[in-house]
Amino acid sequence: MIKTAETDVIIIGSGIGGLCCASLLAHYGFEVTVCESHSIPGGAAHSFERNGFKFDSGPSLYSGLSYSPSPNPLKQVLDIIGEPLPCVTYDTWGCCLPEGDFPTSVGANQFCDILAKLRGPEAVKQWQELQRVMSPLAKAAIAIPPAAIRFDWNALFTVGRFAPALIAQIPQVMKLTGSFSQIMDEVITDPFIRNWLDLLCFLLSGLPASGTSAAEMAFMFADWYRPGVVLDYPIGGSGGLVDALVRGLTKNGGKLQLNTHVDEILVKNRRVIGIRLKNGQEIKARTAVISNASVWDTLKILPIRTISQNFHHERQKTPACDSFLHLHLGINGEGLPSDLPCHHIVVNDWEKGVNASQNVVLVSIPSLIDPSLAPPQKQVIHVYTPGNEPYHLWEGMNRQSEEYQTLKEQRSQVMWQALERIIPDIRSRCEVTLVGTPLTHERFLRRYRGSYGPAIEAGKALFPGPTTPVEGLFCCGDSTFPGIGLPAVAASGMMVANTLASVDQHWEAMKAVVN
């Protein structure tokens, strides 16, 4: 007979949102158990190793991690749990655009130089006006730090502390509730700048400017265009970040159980009581169960008899971003240019739209700034199409079939071609070559249709949010907070953890991250 275990809080999934939530709850004194289906923690942000090359499976662009206090919720979590995250800083990345190939950097001034060369003084004037318009919006976007937010009546105390700052920003706050395109349309007519802003929006939310919230872009402007801004890369890649969060969990008695698949969330009298694992074991939860699975995958393990059909229907119809293609390469790095940027953005055709299939490709060569990721004289490369690969092309395929291998070869060519614009002889340098598809995402990350997250257009619908009709059952991750990047999922996990903490614990944690 399989023994029933018991804990305070169960977290389903060890993505960044789940680990942020888990490490904070352990910090607050809860007994926490994280159940992860995969053999590696981190969800879409996990790292893996092949032949001495250490690969990031997901995110490659980080900011706001190398200084404190930071507006980045992920950095706020790390500061609260007392886990340092050593980073390498840089400020330049490469652009391969229809207009040509050139380096650019964070900060407003260098981009003005680019605009002056590409588009002339009128474009520079428009960009500077956008900076002026966005400055008060950026202040409004960070007027209430995510660390202050919780989802119960005690939020009146924790958020209330920032009420004066928020009241002063009321006129700006109202503008943040709509799409960024409403602001962009008032200021920007230059086609290149509009395309560039559409691209930034797509990388933030999976949607162009018309679907991206003004608040998300305002947060980015607050971070990327402040004086002295740099970008960050965690030593050890995303694996270093995951390790820091796992340390924060385990040093306070929390448990991470890998290869542990949850089959069902157990509910009794409309209150969550625990989970049932694939092996039949049950784990009871004294306080809460928190799902870090996607909105769609959470519904798969939540029996419909325990919730209203309306709730199930509303969450199931949440629109999803498309999926990814990945190319992971371990290469001979001898003779590469010494000034090669570690990251590149490739856009093939502005006219197709930034979210068109295979139109935008991202290239990351992080070992250029963190040599620990590759053997001596080698480099590690991650190329991916960010949320623009249609799942239906792959649906139902047998991964062992010749048809699947042929499609992998065909669809991966756009990544090879993008990389050849940066390293022309790349194919002859490869020592490790791995291609990932939407079916890879679906299999290893247990992601609904291999998706990266919800594609909810700003002003047209609300994100599903962290709460459910089942008492004690919460959700965190990319389905619960606007945005599909690390700051958004970290914020979602932090807010749920704060909701379960006492106000005194919450106040004490805020001292570590708020001036």
Q: Which amino acid is at 460?
A: K
Q: Which of 37-46, 222-231, 255-264, 328-337 has the lowest mean pLDDT?
A: 222-231
Q: Using an 8 Å Cβ cutoff, are 252 and 213 in contact?
A: no
| pTM reported for the whole predicted model | 0.94
Integer angstrom CA distances of residue 181 from 209, 217, 354: 5, 10, 14
Residue from 122, 106, 125, 103 nearest 114 by CA: 103
Within 390-515, strands assigned E span 430-436, 473-475
Taking only the tens place, the pLDDT of each residue in 402-451 is: 999 999 999 999 999 999 999 999 999 999 999 999 999 898 888 899 99
pLDDT tops 60 at residue 10: yes
Using pLDDT thresholds of 50, 70 and 90, give the confidence band for residue 3. low
Q: How far is it, in rounded angstroms, from Cα 419 to Cα 397? A: 27
Taking only the tens place, the pLDDT of each residue in 68-125 is: 888 889 999 999 999 999 999 998 889 999 999 988 888 767 788 899 999 999 999 9
Query: Which token pair is 202?
Result: 């797509």
Taking only the tens place, the pLDDT of each residue in 241-284 is: 999 999 999 999 999 999 999 999 999 999 999 999 999 999 99
Backbone angles phi, psi at 109, to 5 degrees: -65, -45
Q: Work out the mean pLDDT of the chain and round it to a whole number.
A: 91
pLDDT tops 60 at residue 493: yes
pLDDT tops 90 at residue 218: no
pLDDT tops 80 at residue 491: yes
Backbone angles phi, psi at 305, to 5 degrees: -65, -15
Q: How far is it, in rounded angstroms, from Cα 67 to Cα 388? A: 33
Q: What is the mean pLDDT of residues 348-355?
A: 95
User: What does the pLDDT read at residue 161?
Assistant: 83
Instruction: Kindly state the DSSP code that residue 232 receives in the 8-state scheme.
Output: E
User: What does the pLDDT read at residue 220?
Assistant: 82
Q: What is the mean pLDDT of residues 28-34?
A: 98
User: What does the pLDDT read at residue 2?
Assistant: 59
| Sequence-ordered list of residues with C-beta below 8 angstroms from that of 163, at least 6 positions apart, any chain | none
Using pLDDT thresholds of 50, 70 and 90, give the confidence band for residue 483. low
| Sequence-ordered list of residues with C-beta below 8 angstroms from that of 147, at least 6 positions apart, any chain | 73, 76, 80, 494, 498, 509, 510, 513, 514
Residues 387-396: b if buried by 16+ CB within 10 A, e if exposed: bbbebeebee
Domain locations in the chain? 5-50+63-85+235-318+453-510, 87-92+104-144+156-233, 323-450
Fold of 5-50+63-85+235-318+453-510: FAD/NAD(P)-binding domain (3.50.50)
pLDDT tops 70 at residue 379: yes
User: What does the pLDDT read at residue 284?
Assistant: 97
Q: Using an 8 Å Cβ cutoff, are 87 and 234 in contact?
A: yes
Tracing tokens 């090669």 back to the chain, one arrives at: 340
Q: How far is it, in rounded angstroms, from Cα 81 to Cα 62? A: 20
Tracing tokens 């940066």 back to the chain, one arrives at: 422
Q: Which of 27-41, 126-140, 182-196 has the lowest mean pLDDT?
A: 126-140
Edge-to-edge strand ranges of the sheet holding 231-234: 62-63, 231-234, 87-90
Query: Which token pair is 387?
Result: 């949320």
More confident residue, 343 or 306: 343
Q: How far is it, in rounded angstroms, from Cα 46 to Cα 331? A: 21
| Sequence-ordered list of residues with C-beta below 8 angstroms from that of 489, at least 6 positions apart, any chain | 15, 16, 17, 20, 476, 477, 478, 481
User: What does the pLDDT read at residue 408?
Assistant: 96
User: What does the pLDDT read at residue 374?
Assistant: 97
Using pLDDT thresholds of 50, 70 and 90, give the confidence band for residue 484. low
Residue from 325, 321, 354 nearest 478 by CA: 321
User: What does the pLDDT read at residue 1?
Assistant: 47
Neighbours of 72 (CB within 10 A): 25
Residue from 288, 326, 295 nearest 439 by CA: 326
The dihedral through the CA atoms of 233, 211, 209, 149 has a sign that is: negative
| Sequence-ordered list of residues with C-beta below 8 angstroms from that of 93, at least 6 positions apart, any chain | 61, 103, 104, 105, 231, 341, 342, 343, 344, 345
